[in-house]
Each structure stands twice: as structure tokens, then as C-alpha cells.
Chains A and B, each alone.
Chain A
Amino acid sequence: MRKLVAVALAVLALVVFTTPVYAQVNNASITATATVQAPINVTAVNNLDFQSVFPGVAKTVLVTDATAGRWDVAGAASTPVSLNFTLPTNLASGGDLMPIGTWTGNHNTTATPAGTGFTPSGTPTAATLSGTGALFVYIGATVSPLANQPAGVYTAAVTLTVLY
């Protein structure tokens, strides 16, 4: 019996003095996510063309006219965008100027100027790309040649910037 007690004490001593303090380790995971938006491509399709105008006679191009300006926009499907215009106040031919104004616009998710009318300006206009990521933007305006407007070809840049 004494031998058994001695053995038990020895084992107990081993346990007490040699039991390691186990390091605890645990882990968990999370995901990291990002969604890359399709870039917006804006393509100038038609120039806004007033064709021949006469001194002293204003001329208007409607958004529904064949010579209306047009841009095609492609981007992420069904995504809201803003349309921002940089508009000239004159067309120029060398140093000669021809006033332009009374801007009109229409944007649509199909390639017809029968969508939503708006007034183009530097103030953003809200629109939404179609289910395939398309938008068609049309623009018209009025030029007002002076009575003594010199003959010539008058041009100016009209810029559309589209942002998500």
C-alpha cells in the first residue's frame, strides 16, 4: 500500500509541477469585398448643326431634328448618372461671334429623342442608364445671327460630362 501511495504522490507531483500552461489559439475570418464599376464611355455621335443661317434671322434646332446634337453613353446597367454640360455662349468664326442659347435637351434609354426633356446647363441633370447600361442624349439650341453677321463657318465646342 505504501508503494502505491508513493507512486500516486510521484505522479501527482509530476502533474502539478509539469502540467504545461497551454497557449490558447483561435481564429476567424471575414471577407473583403469591392465592386468595380464599369467605366462610363461617352461618344459624340452627331454634331449640333444649324447648317445655313442668315444675318438677322434666328434659327433653332430641336432635339428631334436630324441635325440635333447627340451623344451615346455606355456604363454600368441601371445606374444613376449626372449629365453636366459645358455650353458656349457664342459660335466663333475667327474673331466674329454668333450668339447661341436657349438650349434644350432630351435623354432616353433608347436611341430616340422621345425620353425625358431637360434644360442643358452646368448644373447636373440626373438620369439613369438602361438595363444594358445605355443612355442617349440629344441637344438642341438657337443661334441668333446679327443683322450684319459676317459670312463664314462658325463653330464652338459643346461638352457633355457624365458622372456616376
Chain B
Amino acid sequence: MPMRGLVLLLLGLLLAAPASGQGGRPLRVRGERALTFGVVFPGVSSHVNRTDPVGSGEFSIRGEKFLQVLMQFTLPASLTGPGGAAMPLSFGSGDGGFSTTTIGAQAGFDPNVGGTGQLSKNGQGSVFLGGTAQPTAGQAAGAYTGIVVLTVIVP
């Protein structure tokens, strides 16, 4: 009978093994704030700093404490407006930022390339994004929007 007990124990371990292999707190990414250029004028470029507490885009990341993460953006080349009109959009090498504390304490990175970061002891981090809207001289008036996607990878 001890053999049968051992077998049951091993089977139990087998069943439990996959669950324990995936770790504890799940990785979660959430969009917190839109990247907002506000009112822009035809022919006049408008830049939003990643440290702008109102205009910059923001994502939050939650996961295991001190978790190392890779951050990759999918960035739109333009915003789409009335009748499908496109407004060029660009992102500079310093327009991405990561912080585990305040918006002013970011470590910058190139959002076109991606960056790395380490979550805080509470398993938290924030990703910020700035950019430049470049309306043309003949840009049609109206509201323009685009989608920015942040993918976070734990290697």
C-alpha cells in the first residue's frame, strides 16, 4: 500500500507542477491616459513631452515585484481624421519613458525601438509616451485619432 500512496503522491505532484510553473501575480498592462495633442493648427507641428502630466500617453504595468520587462510599442504613422484624412505623427528617440515612481522620474527610451524596465517592489511600473503631430498646411479641420499599442513581455 505505501507504493500506491507514493504513486498517488507523484500523480498529485504531476498535476500541480504546471500551475506552479507559471508563477504568482499575473502580468497586467492597462492604458491609463490618451496621448493628447489638443488643438493644433494647419502647418504648425505640435509636440507633447512624455513628462507632460496631461498630454502624454500613459500605461500601467502590474506584475511580480522587481520583474524585468520588455516594452514594445506599435505606433501609428498618422492620425486619421475627417473623411479619412491623415495627419502625420512622429516619435523621437526620447519620447518613451518608464518610471516606478513619478512621471518626473522617468528613464527615457526610444519608443520606435522599445525599452526595458524593472517593476517596483510592489510590482508596479508606468510607461509614458510623447510625440509630435505634424499637421500639413492644408490639413482639414476636425478631430483626428489613432491607436497606440504597448506590448509588455517578460522574457
- Is A11 positioned at the interface, with any CB of B under 8 Å from its CB? yes
Binds B, one of A31-39, A56-64, A146-154: A31-39
Q: How many residues belonging to B are interface residues under a CB distance threshold of 8 Å? A: 61
Judge whether A29 and B31 touch: CB under 8 Å.
yes
Report chain A residues within 8 Å CB of B17.
12, 15-16, 19
Q: Which of A1-30 contact B (CB under 8 A)?
A: 1-2, 4-5, 8-9, 11-12, 15-16, 19-30
Contact B42 A39 (CB under 8 A): yes
Q: Which residues of B contact A2 (CB under 8 A)?
A: 3
Contact A25 B153 (CB under 8 A): yes
- For the complex formed, measure the closest distance between the CB of A80 and the CB atoms of chain B, giving whole angstroms: 12
Question: Is A76 positioned at the interface, with any CB of B under 8 Å from its CB?
Answer: yes
Q: Is the CB of B87 within 8 A of A36?
A: yes
B10 touches A9 (CB 8 A): yes
Contact partner, A33, options B31, B32, B59, B145, Cβ 8 Å:
B145
Contacts of A24 in B (CB 8 A): 23, 26-27, 63, 153-154
Q: How many A-B residue pairs lie within 8 Å, measured between CB atoms?
A: 152
Q: 1/0 per residue B31-49: CB within 8 Å of A?
A: 1111111111110001000
Q: With A and B bound together, what is the CA distance between A31 and B57 in angstroms?
A: 8
| B145 touches which of A5, A27, A28, A32 (Cβ 8 Å) | A32
CA distance A37 to B10 in the complex (A): 70
Other-chain residue from A11, A21, A34 in contact with B37 (beta carbon distance below 8 A): A34
What CA separation (Å) do A2 and B144 show in the bound complex?
A: 71
> What is the CB-to-nearest-CB distance from B131 to chain A, in angstroms, rounded to a whole number?
7
B148 and A30: CB pair below 8 A? yes
Which chain A positions have C-beta within 8 A of B42? Answer: 36-37, 39
Contact residues, B1-45 vs A (CB, 8 A): 3-4, 6-7, 10-11, 13-14, 17-18, 21-23, 26-42
* Closest-CB distance, A4 to chain B (whole angstroms): 6
Complex A-B: 15 CB contacts under 8 Å: A1-B7, A5-B7, A8-B11, A12-B10, A15-B17, A16-B17, A29-B31, A30-B33, A30-B35, A30-B59, A32-B35, A32-B57, A33-B34, A34-B133, A37-B141
Residues of chain A touching chain B, judged by Cβ–Cβ distance below 8 Å, are 1-2, 4-5, 8-9, 11-12, 15-16, 19-39, 76, 164
Given contacts A31-B34, A32-B35, 17 further A-B contacts (CB under 8 A): A5-B7, A16-B17, A25-B151, A26-B29, A28-B150, A31-B35, A32-B36, A32-B76, A32-B79, A33-B35, A34-B39, A35-B38, A36-B140, A36-B141, A37-B39, A37-B41, A39-B41
